[in-house]
Structure formats: structure tokens, C-alpha cells
Amino acid sequence: MQPQEGLFHSPGAFSGVAVLRLSRSVALPQLREVVSSIHEELSTTQGLNLVLGLEPALLPEVPVRPALLPREGPTARFPSSQSHVLVHVSTGNRELLLESLRRVLALSKGVLSLEEELLGGRIGEGRDAFGFRDGLLRPTREHVRHAAIVPSGPLAGASWLLYLRFQQDLERFGRLQPRAQANVVGRTRDGELVVDAPAEAHILRARASGAGENHLLIRRGFPFRQGGEEGLAFVAAAADPDSYARSLDSLLGTGGQTPDALLRYATAVGGGLYLAPPRGWFHTVSLQEALS
């Protein structure tokens, strides 16, 4: 089964996330019609990358599993604002970004309502809201295929998406000396590794879970600014949702591990787990049928 093509493309200069909620009276076939129309139109729009995910419980093929969110550690938590549909669009053209989000709303009218929307994109040569270089190791197609695509079984070709909305406290982080800031991240502002970084440094906590260097998950998030709030729309794709459990627990410091220093300056205010079905799922009756 072919994965959604958008998964293979890093976010462009402009990115947006729309989280949509299903109207109460709507049945699954109607939802499938709507998301299939969105997928059909936007995945064939030149210059636009689309990844579309659904709440896993909406898909009968997905085995029931313990909820990923909310998740709690000794000093921080990742709350849940799970909804039904996640649309992630990215492009080099801002007009196309706006038009694609307008089309998502127009095509989903009466079936889905907009719950949350974040628009953002690249800062400078690719910095986060704290001014640190991010996305240093760009994933290849092979990295994506390996880390982010379910290889076999009833969900072959699908990808698990994690969305987290982080608020970043620029004032608090800005009060730190450059050396202390670099120790929080584990890299300097320009991306050089801090060799003697403390164990609580963000990249060391991320690597401790096995998620470094595009293993386990592919990060495809983007910084945003909205209504005076700045942060990161963290979006990731993984072949196995347990990779997220491991990474998030590693950042939280669950089970006696060191909590991630970055979480003193960045707060997750919502998020959810979604499944991006393979291309063939759209406009078909079930994953099993799509596979046969």
C-alpha cells in the first residue's frame, strides 16, 4: 500500500495544521467521503504537501490500545486535545497555504468543524522560536520509509502522527546566558553539539529514547506565532505509536529518568494521536478491501 506522498516531504517555508471535529450526527461513510475529497484535491495540487490523519478509533482496522495522551511526568505533562481529523499542509507559497486551508473548510462543511488551526513556517534558515537551528538532519525517503511507515499487516502503508502544540516562554529562556541556553538544548544556537551537555539536555533526552537521527520518528513540525503566543506545532510521523510513548516518557523523565530541561521553557498545551491511512484507503470501503 502506498503511503501518503506528503509524508516524504519536509515542511516548506509555510505550514499549517487544522484540527477538525466530527459533527455528532455524521456516520463514518460520510466522513470518509469528505476526507477523501480533501485528500484527492489537495494531494494533487502542485506545490502543496498534504498529510491527513484520522483519530485511530474511527478506523475499525486499528486495534484498541492504551491512550498515548494525556501523559504525566514528575515536573511536566502532555495533555490531550484529541479530535477526529488532522490536516497538515506545507508549501513554499503562502497563497497556496491559505487557499488549501479554505478548501479544507469548504469541503468539510456540515461534516467537520474547525477546532484548532495553527499557521507558521520557517524562521530564517530554519530556527525554532528560541532562535535555535532545528531540523538539522533532513530525513531522506529511506529514513521516512523505515521510521514512519507501517511495513506490513492490516495497516501497511499507514503512518502514526503525533501532534503537540507547544507554547515557548521566550522571555524566560531569553534570560539565560547563551551557554546555559545551549545546555538546555544540547546544541548551540547554530546547531553545534555541546560535547559536555548535561543529561537533561533536550537532544540527549530525545536520543535516550532511541529517537535520534531520524530513527523511530520523523519530525515535521514548524514554529508558529498566533495572537502573541509563540511555539512549536510539533508534528511527527512514526511506524509504531509505542515510539511516541517511549520518546515522551524520556522527555518527561518517567520512571526515574532525568526530565528534559527544555520542558521548563516549553509547555505542551494540547495534542493528539492520528493515523494517516495509505493513499488507497481514500474512496474505498475498508483497509482490508484496499489491500485486496
Chain residues in the site for ligand HEM (CB under 6 A): 128, 132-137, 164, 166, 168, 185, 187, 202-203, 206-207, 211-213, 219, 232, 234, 247-248, 251, 262, 266
Strands (E) across the chain are located at 14-22, 48-54, 71-72, 77-78, 85-91, 112-121, 159-168, 218-219, 222-226, 229-238, 266-276
Nearer Cβ to ligand HEM (107/276): 276
- The Cα–Cα gap between 170 and 127 comes to 13
Nearer Cβ to ligand HEM (94/246): 246
Nearer Cβ to ligand HEM (91/168): 168
User: How many angstroms separate the Cα of 82 from the Cα of each of 78, 140, 178?
Assistant: 12, 29, 36
Nearer Cβ to ligand HEM (83/181): 181
User: How many angstroms separate the Cα of 48 from the Cα of each of 15, 89, 134, 135, 234?
Assistant: 10, 7, 22, 20, 19
Cβ proximity of 35 and 253 under 8 Å: no
> CB of residue 96 vs ligand HEM: minimum separation in angstroms?
26
Closest by CA to 197, choosing from 212, 178, 210, 182, is: 182
> CB of residue 254 vs ligand HEM: minimum separation in angstroms?
13
> CB of residue 171 vs ligand HEM: minimum separation in angstroms?
15
Closest by CA to 161, choosing from 83, 217, 100, 233, is: 217
Nearer Cβ to ligand HEM (52/206): 206
Nearer Cβ to ligand HEM (35/266): 266
Nearer Cβ to ligand HEM (69/158): 69
> CB of residue 48 vs ligand HEM: minimum separation in angstroms?
24
Dihedral class, residue 214 (left if φ above 0, else alpha if ψ from -120 to 50, else beta): left
Cβ proximity of 203 and 183 under 8 Å: no
> CB of residue 213 vs ligand HEM: minimum separation in angstroms?
4
Cβ proximity of 156 and 245 under 8 Å: no
Cβ proximity of 82 and 69 under 8 Å: yes
> CB of residue 282 vs ligand HEM: minimum separation in angstroms?
28
Nearer Cβ to ligand HEM (128/200): 128
Residue 246 burial class via C-beta count within 10 angstroms: exposed 0-12, middle 13-18, buried 19 and up: middle
> CB of residue 158 vs ligand HEM: minimum separation in angstroms?
19
> CB of residue 169 vs ligand HEM: minimum separation in angstroms?
10
